[in-house]
Amino acid sequence: MTIGVKKVSLHRTARDQVFLPAILEGLLTSARHFFKNTMTKGMGDVDTIRYGEPDVDIKTYYPDRFRGVHRLMYRDDGSVRCVACMCCSTVCPAKCIYIVAEDRQDNAEKGPASFVIDELKCVVCGLCVEACPCDAIRMDTKQHMTPTERREDAVLGKVELMSRGGPSVATQGGLGPEFRAVAPQADPRFGQ
């Protein structure tokens, strides 16, 4: 059997190849919105918001499920909830989560010696949040990544991610660090 290659034409017209009409169309659209907003509407009715202007605290509406900059949650004792299971970094399609695991001081489980997210590579899919078994990582900050001219400013480490975090009330490890020493039948989650 012979496998051939089918060439598909892009069907670009001369008008498409010149680009000039498309550029003019874009300029006309911008000009139309500019005059519509400035001539026929009051400042409160313009089709934009004055977000980020100094002394003007107008922000857009964020839906409850808006995915913002990541944050790492912590336990009651202030330590990070993450147990360095690597579920988030494994599921991440952009491969932008980098974790180095270490033993925790209580030796009950692991934790992240370092936890880094490159927010410029992130495609904001939220899979890391879905995959986390510990409610350790969230994207509910309702914050955009701050625009930056330096790539390294968009690479967030554990301290920065935890600075946006907060205590999580989700059950983790059942009875705390001693949960491994407790017989399953004494654990209220399994019934008495």
Q: Smallest distance, Å, CB 88 to ligand SF4?
A: 3
126 binds ligand SF4 (CB under 6 A): yes
Pick from 69, 122, 161, 162 the residue near ligand SF4 by CB under 6 A: 122
Minimum CB separation of residue 131 from ligand SF4 in Å reads 5
Which residues 1-60 are close enough to bind ligand SF4 by CB under 6 A? none
Residue 134 engages ligand SF4 in binding (rule: CB under 6 A): yes
User: Which of 69, 71, 83, 156 touches ligand SF4 by CB under 6 A?
Assistant: 83
Nearer to ligand SF4, 37 or 94 (CB): 94
The reply to whether 87 sits near ligand SF4 by the rule CB under 6 A is yes
| Residue closer to ligand SF4 (CB basis): 29 or 90 | 90
Give CA–CA dist 182/162, Å, rounded: 30
Residues ≥6 apart with Cβ < 8 Å to 135:
73, 81, 168, 170, 172
Residue 132 binds to ligand SF4 (criterion: CB under 6 A) = yes
Residue 17's alpha-carbon distances to 9, 25, 26, in angstroms, are: 14, 15, 16
Q: For the CB of residue 22, give the shortest distance to ligand SF4 in the complex, in Å.
A: 32
Q: Does 94 bind ligand SF4 (CB under 6 A)?
A: yes
Does 162 participate in binding ligand SF4 (rule CB under 6 A)?
no
Give CA–CA dist 14/72, Å, rounded. Answer: 53
Check binding of 161 to ligand SF4 (CB under 6 A).
no
CA distances (Å), 161 to each of 3, 70, 89, 144, in order? 52, 7, 15, 14
Tally Cβ neighbours within 10 Å of residue 56.
Answer: 10
Write out the residues near ligand SF4 by the rule CB under 6 A.
82-88, 91-94, 96-97, 99, 117, 122-128, 131-132, 134, 136-137
